[in-house]
C-alpha cells in the first residue's frame, strides 16, 4: 500500500535507536569562550568562532549602525534589487583580503557550493573530489551533469592516477575540488602538491576554505598559507566560522565573479543576506587585519592544548589546526564522554558514524583565540579525570 506520513516517525525512531539523532542544546546568550547552555555555565569547545569575533564590539557596532541606515532586510534577490552599496563594499574588501581580482558573496558557504559547482562543469567534464569533502561540495557535485571521481582522503598518488586516466579521455574541463581544512580531523589539504598536479595535468583547482579562513596564512586562508593566492582558480569561503558572522563568499578572477552571479541559481533565485550582515563581515575582515595578535593567540592555544592532551594519552589523529579531535573509537563512548564533559561544564560535540568511520568516533575540540591558560587547564584536568573514568587513556 502507498505510504503516507508514518515513515517520518518510523525513520526517526530508527535513527534514534542507532544514536544518530541530533539532540539540540541551545545557548542563552552570545557565542564566546564562556557561554551559558540551557542554563548551565560552560566553556565552549564546539564552536567555529575561532577568533572570538561573533560578539566582538566592532562587529556588533557595525551591524547596529547598518540596521539604522538600511533596515533589517535586503528586500530582494541579489540579482534583482537586493544588492546594496554595502554589499558591493564587502565584495571589494574580500577581494583585497584574499588577494584576488574580485569577489562576491552568497547566502551561505553551502549555497555557494550548491549554486556554483553545477555551473562550472557539465556534460563532457570531470569533477575530482576528496572523499572527506564537506557535504555542500558533495551536493554541488551531485547537481552537476559532469562525470565524477572521488579519491581517498589527501592521497596524492591516487589523485594523480585519476588525472592520468582523465588525460586518456577527451574531457573538456577537469576540476579538482577540496576542503582547505578538513572539518572532522583538522588536517590541511596538500595544496602545494595539488597545485603541482593540476599544472602538470591541466586541471583547475576549487578550494572551500571554510575552516581555514581566519586560521591559516595570518588569517587570510589557505591561498596565503601556500603562497598560491593567484593560482587557485575558485576560492570558496564563509563568514560563519572564524569571522564570527554569516554568509558565503567566492573570490577569484573578475571573469569568474561575473560568471558566478549570472549563472549560480542560489545567487540568482534567492534573497541577498541583510545589510547588517554585510557590515559585520566588513568589520570582521578589518579586525583580523588590525588585531594580528588574535590569530597568533589561536595558534598558541592550539599548540599548548594539542601537546598537553596528547601527553594525557589522547589520540588527536592528523590534526594540524585549531580543530583538535580526541579520538576515542566507539560511538557510545564518544557520546558518553560528551555528556560527562557537559556535566563538568565543558560544551563539546561527539562526532560519530556516519560523519566519521565507525571505529573513529571522537570529540571535536575547537580552540579559541580568547581561551586563557586557566580555561585550557580546566579542560585538560576534566579530560584527564574522564579519560581514566571511561578507560580511554
Q: Is 183 a catalytic residue?
A: yes
- Of residues 115 and 387, the one with the C-beta less far from ligand PLP: 115
- Of residues 102 and 208, the one with the C-beta less far from ligand PLP: 208
Give alpha helix (H) positions in 18-174: 57-70, 85-98, 109-120, 135-142, 156-168
* Neighbouring-strand partners of residue 172: none
For the chain, what percentages of helix, strand and coil (3-state, to nearest 5) are there? Answer: 45, 20, 35
**371: CB partners within 8 A, 6+ apart:** 33, 43, 301
> Helix, strand, or coil here: 317?
coil
> Helix, strand, or coil here: 306?
helix
In the complex, minimum distance from the CB of residue 9 to ligand PLP, in angstroms, rounded to a whole number: 29
Round to whole Å and give the CA distance between 360 and 119: 35
In the complex, minimum distance from the CB of residue 45 to ligand PLP, in angstroms, rounded to a whole number: 17
Q: Do residues 156 and 186 make contact, with C-beta atoms less than 8 angstroms apart?
A: no
In the complex, minimum distance from the CB of residue 24 to ligand PLP, in angstroms, rounded to a whole number: 16
Q: Is 211 a catalytic residue?
A: yes
Q: Among 56, 87, 220, 241, which one carries the catalytic annotation? A: 241
In the complex, minimum distance from the CB of residue 252 to ligand PLP, in angstroms, rounded to a whole number: 16
In the complex, minimum distance from the CB of residue 303 to ligand PLP, in angstroms, rounded to a whole number: 22
Q: Which residue has the cell 588590525?
A: 290
Q: Among 47, 129, 154, 183, which one carries the catalytic annotation? A: 183
- Of residues 240 and 366, the one with the C-beta less far from ligand PLP: 240
Q: Do residues 44 and 347 make contact, with C-beta atoms less than 8 angstroms apart?
A: yes
Q: Could you tell me which of 335, 340, 347 has the C-alpha nearest to residue 39? A: 347
Residue 373 has which C-alpha cell? 591558560
Q: Among 87, 98, 134, 211, which one carries the catalytic annotation? A: 211
- Of residues 188 and 386, the one with the C-beta less far from ligand PLP: 188
Q: Could you tell me which of 208, 226, 220, 228 has the C-alpha nearest to residue 284? A: 220
Cis omega (within 30 of 0) on the bond before 80? no
- Of residues 240 and 316, the one with the C-beta less far from ligand PLP: 240
Q: Could you tell me which of 154, 280, 284 has the C-alpha nearest to residue 219? A: 284
Helices 331-343/373-389 angle, 10° precision: 130
Cα–Cα separations (whole angstroms), residue 235 to 177, 184, 391: 10, 20, 43
- Of residues 178 and 316, the one with the C-beta less far from ligand PLP: 178
- Of residues 109 and 274, the one with the C-beta less far from ligand PLP: 109
In the complex, minimum distance from the CB of residue 5 to ligand PLP, in angstroms, rounded to a whole number: 29
Q: Could you tell me which of 296, 231, 270, 320 has the C-alpha nearest to residue 114? A: 270
In the complex, minimum distance from the CB of residue 134 to ligand PLP, in angstroms, rounded to a whole number: 3
**Which residues in this chain contact ligand PLP in the complex, by CB under 6 A?**
108-110, 134, 136, 179, 183, 208, 210-211, 238, 240, 248
Taking CB atoms, the residue at the shortest distance from ligand PLP is: 109
Task: Report the catalytic residues.
Answer: 183, 211, 241
Amino acid at each position: 500500500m502507498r505510504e503516507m506520513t508514518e515513515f517520518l516517525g518510523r525513520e526517526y525512531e530508527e535513527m534514534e535507536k542507532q544514536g544518530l539523532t541530533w539532540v539540540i542544546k541551545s545557548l542563552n546568550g552570545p557565542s564566546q569562550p564562556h557561554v551559558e547552555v540551557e542554563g548551565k555555565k560552560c566553556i565552549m569547545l564546539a564552536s567555529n568562532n575561532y577568533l572570538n569575533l561573533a560578539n566582538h564590539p566592532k562587529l556588533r557596532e557595525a551591524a547596529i549602525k547598518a540596521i539604522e541606515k538600511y533596515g533589517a532586510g535586503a528586500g530582494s534577490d541579489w540579482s534583482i534589487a537586493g544588492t546594496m552599496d554595502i554589499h558591493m563594499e564587502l565584495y571589494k574588501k574580500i577581494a583585497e583580503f584574499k588577494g584576488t581580482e574580485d569577489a562576491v558573496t552568497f547566502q551561505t558557504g553551502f549555497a555557494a557550493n550548491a549554486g556554483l559547482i553545477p555551473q562550472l562543469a557539465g556534460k563532457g567534464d570531470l569533477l575530482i573530489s576528496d572523499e572527506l569533502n564537506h557535504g555542500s561540495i558533495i551536493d554541488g557535485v551531485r547537481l552537476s551533469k559532469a562525470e565524477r571521481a572521488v579519491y581517498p582522503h589527501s592521497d596524492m598518488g591516487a589523485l594523480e592516477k585519476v588525472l592520468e586516466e582523465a588525460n586518456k579521455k577527451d574531457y573538456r574541463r577537469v576540476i579538482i575540488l577540496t576542503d582547505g581544512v578538513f572539518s572532522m580531523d583538522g588536517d590541511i589539504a596538500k595544496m602545494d602538491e595539488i597545485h603541482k598536479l593540476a599544472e602538470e595535468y591541466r586541471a583547475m583547482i576549487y578550494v572551500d576554505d571554510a575552516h581555514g579562513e581566519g586560521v591559516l596564512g595570518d588569517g587570510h586562508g589557505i591561498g596565503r598559507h601556500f603562497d598560491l593566492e593567484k593560482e587557485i582558480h575558485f576560492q570558496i569561503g564563509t563568514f560563519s566560522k572564524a569571522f564570527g558572522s554569516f554568509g558565503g563568499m567566492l573570490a577569484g578572477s573578475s571573469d569568474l565573479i561575473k560568471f558566478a552571479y549570472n549563472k549560480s541559481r542560489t545567487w540568482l533565485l534567492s534573497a541577498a543576506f541583510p545589510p547588517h550582515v554585510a557590515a559585520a563581515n566588513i568589520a570582521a575582515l578589518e579586525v583580523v587585519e588590525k588585531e594580528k595578535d588574535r590569530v597568533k593567540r589561536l595558534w598558541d592555544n592550539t599548540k599548548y592544548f594539542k601537546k598537553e592532551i596528547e601527553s594525557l594519552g589522547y589520540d588527536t589523529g592528523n590534526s594540524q589546526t585549531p580543530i583538535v579531535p580526541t579520538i576515542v573509537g566507539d560511538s557510545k563512548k564518544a557520546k558518553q564522554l560528551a555528556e560527562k564533559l557537559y556535566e563538568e561544564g565543558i560544551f563539546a560535540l561527539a562526532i560519530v558514524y556516519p560523519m566519521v568511520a565507525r571505529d573513529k568516533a571522537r570529540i571535536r575540540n575547537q580552540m579559541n583565540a580568547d581561551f586563557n591558560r586557566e580555561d585550557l587547564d580546566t579542560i585538560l584536568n576534566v579530560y584527564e579525570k574522564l579519560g581514566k573514568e571511561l578507560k580511554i587513556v
